[in-house]
Amino acid sequence: MKQAKVLSSSRLIYLPLSTSHLSQSYADWINDPAVNKYLETKQTTLEQLEDFLKEQEKKDILFWAIHLKENNKHIGNIKIDPIDNSESSGEYGILMGDKSEWKKGYAKEASERIIQFCFEEYNLSKITLGVVEENTSAVKLYKKLGFEIYQIKENSGVYGDKICNTLRMVLNK
């Protein structure tokens, strides 16, 4: 069974995502056009968010809430899901929801810690992700982390009223 456990890095604490993270500020992230620009979910209510969190609690999943160590503020989420045991691989996703904490290196710090954990604890051989090509800040981060593009899915989605390509990227252990 895959279970997220409490982890930490220099400035952050990673807690298993649960209904304890239900808050208006979390719902506000999802409803913010700057935050949800490249997300599939564009709107949520507190009730819908609560249902989502309850659903996640039931899953065999590696899903963490990212908190600041200094004040325990919930600033985003990170997950590796699904994990494909036959391929020894996992699918990465991150949401940095609190815009006041953007551009401080937290996404890189969180990604490095969670990827290290999954390579060491679950012995994954690779981690994959999908990202909208126009999400240049995310693509830049993933390249810094060592991810490489292995596939371009052309015209794969509409984001900001524009048909966009999706990049498939991989990081090998």
The domain spans of the chain are 7-124
Cα–Cα distance between 67 and 97 in angstroms, integer?
Answer: 11
Cα–Cα distance between 87 and 84 in angstroms, integer?
Answer: 5
Question: Residue type for 10, please?
Answer: S
Q: Is 22 exposed, middle or buried (0-12, 13-18, 19+ CB in 10 A)?
A: middle
Q: Are strands 89-96 and 126-132 parallel, antiparallel or unpaired?
A: parallel
pLDDT at 121: 92
Peptide bond into 16 cis (omega under 30): no
The tokens for 121 are 């604890």
pLDDT at 98: 97
Check if CATH label 3.40.630.30 holds for domain 7-124: yes
pLDDT at 42: 82
| Sheet with strand 162-172: strands edge to edge | 7-8, 12-16, 62-68, 74-84, 89-96, 126-132, 162-172, 148-159
Give 18-73 pLDDT, tens digit per residue: 999 999 999 999 999 999 988 878 899 999 999 999 999 988 889 999 999 999 99
Give 127-142 pLDDT, tens digit per residue: 999 999 999 999 999 9
